[in-house]
Homo-oligomer: A and B are copies of this chain.
Amino acid sequence: MHADALVLLGAESMEIPSTWVRPGAAIIRCESALSSKLNCKLKKNGSNYLTLKLNFKENTSNINVVQSCSRWLQEQQYRPWHLHPLKLQPLSPVPSDIEISRAQTPKPINQLAAEIGLLPEELEAYGRSKAKVRLSLLDRLHSRPDGKYVLVAGITPTPLGEGKSTVTIGLVQAMSAHLKLNSFACLRQPSQGPTFGVKGGAAGGGYAQVIPMEEFNLHLTGDIHAITAANNLVAAAVDARMLHEATQSDKALFKRLVPSVNGVRKFSPIQISRLQRLGIHKTDPASLTPQEVAAFSRLDLDPSKITWHRVVDTNDRFLRAITIGQASTEKGQTRETGFDIAVASEIMAILALSDNLGDMRSRLARMVVGTSRSGEPVTAEDLGVSGALAVLMKDAIKPTLMQTLEGTPVFVHAGPFANIAHGNSSVLADKLALKLVGQDGFVVTEAGFGADIGMEKFFNIKCRASGLKPNVVVLVATVRALKMHGGGPNVSAGAPLPREYIDENLSLVAGGCHSNLRKQIHIAKLFGVPVVVALNAFRTDTPAEIDLVCQIAKECGASDAVSCLHWSQGGRGSLELARAVKEAARQPTNFQFLYNTEMPLVEKIRTIAQKVYGADDVEVTPEVQRKIDYYNQQGYGSLPICMAKTHLSLSHLPDKKGAPTGFVLPIRDIRASIGAGFIYPLVGTMSTMPGLPTRPCFYDIDIDPITEEIIGLF
């Protein structure tokens, strides 16, 4: 019959002859069961079969079942959104980001949600312009084919940044508001620290922004605050536990850990799971031997081997290295440690890589906080805190829906560091967005830093975790950065730009194209994904410079190369890019990882260093080798690699621009994020806590007490 879909009524399972349906069709088996209300839940059953579990009232007729099934089938189809874009009338000169954001009134977020096919019960509004989206959406649209998956990466940037976020937003504004293609941007949530320090906003800029930009840049829906709370609960638990172990006998500890409630001692579930990890398969506290009591009660953490840091979401450099426990109540148990900025927490990386609540709960449990005196890793689960962490993070796991200046949808979710972590927005936001846009739609997601870092991690870490396959890479370049790679003078924040960057200089541009741009295109193609180069055009770029970049980019293997003017024009300025991406997405991809995780750790590091960075080899110190041996012994050897390297050069030396060769990459240290699920080698020192300059930007920030308008924010 070659049906598009087949619905089987009745509780029994059966084999369907493959000639009954067309290849790829949905096959649905209905099970009837008694329940107080109709409730559809879909489960994947092997690779071809789907089980639609319908619980309906006793008097529900088969007609209702068929209606439910047909409604469900409709939901899985691609449907163009009935999106009402917001009109944009760009001014010249382009006003400040906050002025542009304030001049546009966002649609009520529930209206936007309805336009893109979300059900009211899938939305949790946070004020009028932001909402969390429930993960149940993934169940409802389980069988809807995913849209096209586009990654925005960049060439090696100047310290000023080359505008990946604005390109991302400009691209979806062009696709959704002008080409009427369903499209979604997935962005990282920025740290609040730099908002009051030195950096600009992260909501895009000019006429390619997420609005309201102050909501984006401030508390948003509290996810980073939840991470801070969870991270610091682990830290408090570590130090309090060490104090209690240092001041109590085994027996006293045990009596407190397993207290008598109404005369009965019972292990909590999290304690039973610790007993099992210790190989003690008992459930009655009274039956433990004194040795077992000691093993259970003492984590025996080595104070000099605690790796867990506290975090704050503030640029507070004086917390980089501190001594804690100096009050008399802590009985002399002082210890040196430090704070990182909140987004550097492993919990942020976990949020970004989790696939569902259960997966996040397991990752949180696996986090290693330090090592015992006998050399065993001690986890959050050993501390008994992992359930509480999952409770603190239960809302943070839901992506936040916002909108662009042109009223098109954006997910903001997670923002891990791009050096000590993988620097990508969340797997869950991408997955929700891919279902919402449907098979002819586009999801544009962004990776931190240059393509050698953010894109490599996107492919090897994020796509490995998610199982998703990207269709197109958009590689963002600027004439400014290309000139720098072509041999132009130093570019640094705060200092005026040298003349070379303002006047036409084709030879510097060509130099940058033939070195860094060529190399970054080749890196993307290593993974089997077509590349479109997006030249983020500045006012000072000349037509000849722009043409030269586009021409060389195509010679180097880019499917297409176009310039874009989203910053001054909004989506209209990125139409050419949108068309080029749409075209490139038609090409067949041959996506592949760069390495197999079963390779030895050093081999994986060497593969990245040689194939991506262009190094001759890597250099591993004996101390790093000892740590690698320890990781192998603990069973961490098959985790992927997350390089912590400078983003200012393809090499480990920030000053080496272009495409350096003939260098050996030194691995100075190596660490593990077991909950997030990667090993991170350190190539140089990475700052995980920014500081405030003499005149932080908070000097200009204020709020009008009558109109409640914010001023001075970028």
Contact = CB atoms under 8 A, between A and B. Distances in A.
Interface of A: 124-128, 132, 192, 196, 214, 218-219, 222, 225-226, 228-229, 232-233, 235-237, 239-241, 243-244, 248, 253, 256-259, 268-271, 310, 312-327, 329-330, 333, 335-336, 338, 356-358, 361, 384-385, 387-388, 390-392, 394-395, 691-696, 698-703, 705-706, 708, 710-713
A266 B318 CA distance: 29
A135 to B, nearest CB: 9
Contacts of A702: 269-270, 387-388, 390-391
Given A127-B125, A127-B126, A326-B323, A314 B229 contact: yes
A372 B644 CA distance: 42
Contacts of A356: 705
A679 B573 CA distance: 59
Given A222-B225, A317-B239, A391-B702, A695 B259 contact: yes
A357 B240 contact: no
Contact of A316 (B128, B239, B257, B698): B239
Nearest to A691: B240
Contact of A322 (B214, B324, B394, B692): B324
Contact of A318 (B259, B325, B699): B325
A233 B698 contact: yes
Contacts of A329: 317, 320, 691
Contacts of A395: 127, 219
Given A394-B703, A698-B385, A692 B237 contact: yes
A322 B320 contact: no
A392 B233 contact: no
Contacts of A319: 310, 324
Nearest to A338: B327
A219 B219 contact: no
A312 B319 CA distance: 13
A361 B703 contact: yes
A698 B330 CA distance: 21
A336 B327 CA distance: 11
B268 A699 contact: yes
Contacts of A237: 692, 696, 698
A218 B396 CA distance: 12
Contacts of A218: 391-392
Contacts of A703: 357, 361, 387, 390-391, 394
B391 A701 contact: yes
A267 B131 CA distance: 39
Contacts of A321: 325-327, 330
A196 B389 CA distance: 10
16 contacts: A124-B126, A124-B127, A196-B385, A225-B225, A235-B316, A237-B692, A239-B317, A240-B317, A240-B691, A243-B317, A257-B694, A268-B700, A320-B326, A321-B327, A322-B322, A394-B703
Nearest to A121: B128
A265 to B, nearest CB: 12
A324 B322 CA distance: 5
B694 A244 contact: yes
Contact of A128 (B124, B693, B698, B713): B124
A324 B236 CA distance: 18
Contacts of A394: 703, 708, 710
A271 B317 CA distance: 24
A125 B214 CA distance: 18
A378 to B, nearest CB: 16
A357 B236 CA distance: 35
A590 B711 CA distance: 46
Of all A-B residue pairs in the complex, the 4 with the closest CB atoms, nearest first, are A387-B702, A358-B705, A225-B225, A388-B698
A702 B701 CA distance: 41
B316 A358 contact: no
A256 B693 contact: yes
From A127, A228, A270, A390, residue with most partner B Cβ within 10 Å = A127
Contacts of A314: 229, 232-233, 235-236
From A218, A268, A271, A314, residue with most partner B Cβ within 10 Å = A314
Nearest to A110: B125
Contact of A229 (B132, B240, B313): B313
Contacts of A219: 222, 225-226, 229, 392, 395
A313 B222 CA distance: 14
Nearest to A271: B699
Contacts of A712: 268, 387
A285 to B, nearest CB: 13
A694 to B, nearest CB: 4
Contacts of A268: 699-700, 712
B316 A327 contact: no
Contacts of A248: 694
A168 to B, nearest CB: 26
Given A219-B229, A695-B257, A388 B196 contact: yes
Given A317-B330, A322-B323, 15 more contacts: A124-B127, A219-B226, A225-B229, A237-B696, A240-B315, A241-B694, A248-B694, A270-B699, A310-B312, A318-B335, A327-B338, A387-B703, A390-B705, A391-B710, A394-B703
A225 B256 CA distance: 32
Contact of A232 (B256, B316, B317, B335): B316
Nearest to A357: B705
Contacts of A320: 326-327, 329-330
A657 B304 CA distance: 47
